[in-house]
């Protein structure tokens, strides 16, 4: 049979960002795939070496534009470890709230993008409609909808506004209602959706671990790994939550990945509610960080897409000597050919949509 390569990108509706998935098809069946990345490489690790520690937060915001806070938080955590300072307790709780709000916003962006991937534009607009609630909350908290620049080395930029708790509860209540009714029906219980996602894009747990797949994509393979539980940072150990792991059969397919992420929406809401409950009502939210530091620090956090790692070395100057970023999507992307092979061409969209690609952090 004649096989040919199809470029799914760099300008293609399937790619959520600037990258290229070369797919070799035999008729409709995918026989091979090659992710081509690097279109959005901005040289983050190098740029960060010439900027001061505190000023790098602005850069790390732009690593992933739908999940800014989680990335700048990971960087701040690494620098704090290097400097040997610790965020005050209220600051840590505020960070948890911010992280989970950002996780919901990021997952909703993924959910929105996963709609048109399978031909459901209504899903895009519904998910973006509810994302607006969380962007409003983030704006209330940090003053910006995108690239919030909220975490700081040593805490967060500002305290929560007065009415934040009430607004947060109201939004989450409304959102959970939408999730349980509308989203559940349109996204999860749709028969066509099951037809399109179940059994496609399978990857075994062993292969996923070998290729460095992390986060919801690995939990969908049935591996219970969540850094918020395994290696708790901030105050996650005081919070009672259940990492969303796929336990049933058919692990590692697009549907499992969908369900893990989808349930994380609910789980994150519960975390936020708990955090609002347990957080100290007053107190400092930030400590003064030294300008110069020497040493090494690394922090790994549970980003919306997997394990985000920052490794920062300081040589006594006011800017890092070396920064290393581990992007979860970069590693997941290497495993996508395994998921794609043997599936239909149309499934490549269903698979790549379910792994939640963010090109900004992938290309760094």
Partner 1 sequence: MTSAPLIPNLFDVCVVLVLAIVWVIDQILYALAGLIPPLNGLAQWFDPIARQRLGMGLLQSELLIVLITWLIAVTVMVIWATLINLLTMMWVERKFYSRLQDRYGIMISIWSLPFWPFNRAHRPTHRGTGYLQNIADGVKLLQKENITPRNADSAMFHISPVLIASSTLMIFAALPWSSGFYVANLDLGILFIFAAFSLAPLGILIAGWSANNKYTLVGGLRAAAMLMAYEIPMILSVIALVFFTGSLNPLIIVRQQERTLVSLGPLAIPAWYIFSPQILGFVVFSVSMMAEMERIPFDIPEAEAELVEGWTTEYSGMRFGLVFGFKWLRMIAGAALIAILYLGGWSGPVFTTLSVGGVPVPIVPEEAWFVLKIYLISVVFIWISWSVRRVRIDQILNIGWRKLIPYSLVAIILAAAAIASGLWAVG
Site residues (vs partner 1, CB under 8 A): 4, 6, 8, 12-14, 25, 28, 116-122, 125-126, 129, 186, 190, 192-193, 195-196, 344-349
For 34, the enclosing helix (H) or strand (E) is: strand 29-36
Look at residues 295, 322, 326, 294 and name the one whose alpha carbon lies nearest to residue 310. 326
Residue 289 near residue 86, CB atoms below 8 Å: no
Residue 274 beta carbon to partner 1: minimum distance, rounded to whole angstroms = 30
User: Nearer to partner 1 by C-beta: 122 or 224?
Assistant: 122
β-partners of residue 36 are 20
Residue 145 beta carbon to partner 1: minimum distance, rounded to whole angstroms = 19
User: Nearer to partner 1 by C-beta: 58 or 192?
Assistant: 192
Residue 30 beta carbon to partner 1: minimum distance, rounded to whole angstroms = 10
Specify the DSSP class assigned to residue 8.
E
How far apart are alpha carbons 200 and 202 in whole angstroms?
6
Query: Tokens 């090494």 identify what position?
Result: 296
**Beta-strand (E) ranges in 51-108?**
none
User: Nearer to partner 1 by C-beta: 14 or 209?
Assistant: 14
Residue 185 beta carbon to partner 1: minimum distance, rounded to whole angstroms = 10
Residue 47 near residue 60, CB atoms below 8 Å: no
Residue 266 near residue 184, CB atoms below 8 Å: no
User: Nearer to partner 1 by C-beta: 71 or 126?
Assistant: 126
Torsions phi, psi for 346 (to 5 deg): -65, -25
Taking phi over 0 as left and psi of -120 to 50 as alpha, with beta for the rest, 147 belongs to left
User: Nearer to partner 1 by C-beta: 117 or 234?
Assistant: 117
β-partners of residue 320 are 314
Residue 31 beta carbon to partner 1: minimum distance, rounded to whole angstroms = 14
Look at residues 17, 245, 215 and name the one whose alpha carbon lies nearest to residue 103. 215
Residue 193 beta carbon to partner 1: minimum distance, rounded to whole angstroms = 6
Look at residues 241, 265, 328 and name the one whose alpha carbon lies nearest to residue 102. 265
User: Nearer to partner 1 by C-beta: 262 or 285?
Assistant: 262
For 87, the enclosing helix (H) or strand (E) is: none
Residue 333 beta carbon to partner 1: minimum distance, rounded to whole angstroms = 18
User: Nearer to partner 1 by C-beta: 120 or 140?
Assistant: 120
Residue 7 beta carbon to partner 1: minimum distance, rounded to whole angstroms = 8
User: Nearer to partner 1 by C-beta: 85 or 345?
Assistant: 345
How far apart are alpha carbons 285 and 159 in whole angstroms?
6
């Amino acid at each position: 049979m004649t096989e040919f390569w199809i470029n799914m990108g760099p300008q293609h509706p399937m790619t959520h960002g600037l990258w290229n998935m070369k797919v070799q098809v035999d008729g409709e069946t995918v026989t091979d795939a090659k992710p081509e990345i690097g279109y959005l490489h901005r040289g983050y690790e190098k740029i960060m070496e010439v900027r001061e520690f505190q000023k790098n937060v602005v850069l790390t915001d732009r690593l992933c534009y739908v999940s800014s806070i989680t990335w700048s938080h990971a960087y701040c955590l690494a620098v704090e470890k290097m400097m040997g300072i610790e965020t005050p307790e209220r600051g840590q709780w505020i960070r948890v709230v911010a992280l989970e709000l950002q996780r919901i916003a990021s997952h909703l962006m993924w959910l929105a993008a996963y709609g048109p991937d399978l031909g459901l534009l209504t899903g895009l607009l519904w998910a973006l409609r509810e994302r607006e609630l969380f962007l409003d909350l983030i704006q209330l908290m940090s003053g910006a909808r995108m690239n919030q620049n909220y975490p700081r080395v040593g805490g967060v930029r500002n305290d929560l506004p007065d009415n934040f708790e009430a607004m947060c509860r109201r939004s989450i209540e409304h959102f959970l209602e939408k999730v349980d009714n509308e989203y559940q029906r349109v996204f999860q219980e749709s028969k066509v959706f099951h037809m399109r996602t179940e059994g496609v894009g399978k990857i075994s747990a062993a292969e996923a671990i070998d290729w460095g797949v992390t986060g919801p994509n690995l939990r969908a393979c049935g591996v219970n790994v969540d850094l918020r539980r395994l290696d708790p940072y901030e105050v996650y150990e005081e919070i009672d939550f259940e990492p969303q792991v796929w336990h049933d059969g058919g692990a590692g397919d697009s549907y499992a990945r969908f369900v893990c992420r989808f349930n994380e929406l609910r789980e994150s809401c519960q975390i936020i509610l708990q955090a609002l409950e347990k957080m100290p009502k007053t107190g400092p939210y930030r400590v003064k960080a030294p300008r110069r530091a020497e040493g090494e620090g690394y922090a790994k956090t549970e980003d919306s897409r997997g394990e985000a790692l920052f490794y920062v070395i300081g040589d006594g100057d006011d800017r890092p000597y070396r920064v290393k970023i581990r992007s979860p999507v970069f590693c997941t992307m290497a495993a996508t050919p395994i998921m794609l092979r043997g599936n239909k061409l149309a499934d490549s969209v269903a698979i790549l949509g379910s792994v939640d690609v963010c090109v900004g952090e992938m290309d760094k």
